[in-house]
Amino acid sequence: MKHTLKEICLFGSLDNNQLKKLENISTIKKLKPGNILFYEGDEPKNLYFLLDGLIKLYRYDKNDNINILTYYYTQSLIGEAATLQRTPHQITAECEIESTILVVSFDDFEKDFLRDPEIALGLIMQLVGKIKSLMNTNMQQTSMQKLAQLIFDNHEIFIKVKKYKIAEILNMAPETFSRNLKKLQKDKIISYDKNHFEIKDKEALSELFACCPNFNKS
């Protein structure tokens, strides 16, 4: 697990002793589609870090209809706001596909790590990144910008998730999604078939959404 922890940007500054201590308060869970990470109203006890997969966040309205708030498809903390504030979760987190989650005991993490300035800054940057992502969502992005950024962030999702579901994640009509995907392939920016998806021209892909606030070519 130590290698996995080291690769997470939030923990990249930890030395071997710190990583060992973190390993002792952490577990890696493999979850299947439909598994619940936490329910709305649950008391938070852990930090959850998505390593791989797709997580859907939603809540129920007064008529018991599901309102999907967002999807997480890149490595990131999930539900950390409630954990940090020690307030009940306001949302439910459910796995859409097989997912790998790092679970860290928050009481132990707070005692041993949260006073470390670099770790605290890492948590702040995670929150800032989510705010920027929310800003993007509220911007008038074109359908091509949305698709290009998703491919740039996590092109492997196109192998693991059905196309109609990806269109849903992007809040895009399936016809529009298919048309944009075909154009990217025609322009030789990507290459894909049923079992293969590859970025052929990363620079050209990035230029399609470079105006977005959270864009980073690195």
**62 domain residue, yes or no:** yes
- Angstrom distance (rounded) from CA 122 to CA 128: 10
**92-117 pLDDT, tens per residue?**
999 999 999 999 999 999 888 887 78
Residues 122 and 153 grouped into a single domain: no
The answer to the question of residue 217 being in a domain is no
The domain tally of the chain equals 2
Residues 6 or more apart in contact with residue 128 via CB below 8 angstroms: none
Q: Reduce the DSSP state of residue 102 to 3 states and report it.
A: strand
**Domain CATH for 148:** 1.10.10.10
Amino acid letter, residue 108: D
Q: What's the pLDDT at 55?
A: 96
d(CA 212, CA 128): 15
| Whole-angstrom distance, CA of residue 191 vs CA of residue 197 | 6
The answer to whether position 56 is within a domain reads: yes
The answer to whether 187 and 204 have CB atoms below 8 angstroms apart is yes
Residue 216 lies in a domain: no
Domain boundary (79, 109, 137) is at 137
Residue-level pLDDT at 131 = 67
26 is a domain residue: yes
pTM of the predicted model as reported, rounded to 2 decimal places: 0.78
Average pLDDT, the chain: 87
10 and 47 together in one domain: yes
> Does 193 lie in the same domain as 96?
no
- Domain range for 35: 2-137
CATH number at residue 80: 2.60.120.10
Q: Is there a contact between 70 and 57 (Cβ–Cβ < 8 Å)?
A: yes
> Considering the domain boundaries, does residue 212 fall inside one?
no
Backbone angles phi, psi at 153, to 5 degrees: -75, -40
Rg from Cα positions in the chain? 18
**What are the pLDDT digits (tens) for 179-202?**
999 999 999 999 998 889 999 999
Q: Residue range 152-180: average pLDDT?
A: 92
What is the model's pLDDT at position 49? Answer: 93
Q: Tell me the per-residue pLDDT of 41-100, one tens digit each, with 9 for 90 and over.
A: 999 999 999 999 999 999 988 888 899 998 998 888 899 889 989 999 999 999 999 999
Long-range residue pairs from 173-180, CB within 8 A, at least 24 positions apart, any chain: 176/143, 177/143, 177/147, 180/143, 180/144, 180/147
Residue with token string 């009940």 = 88
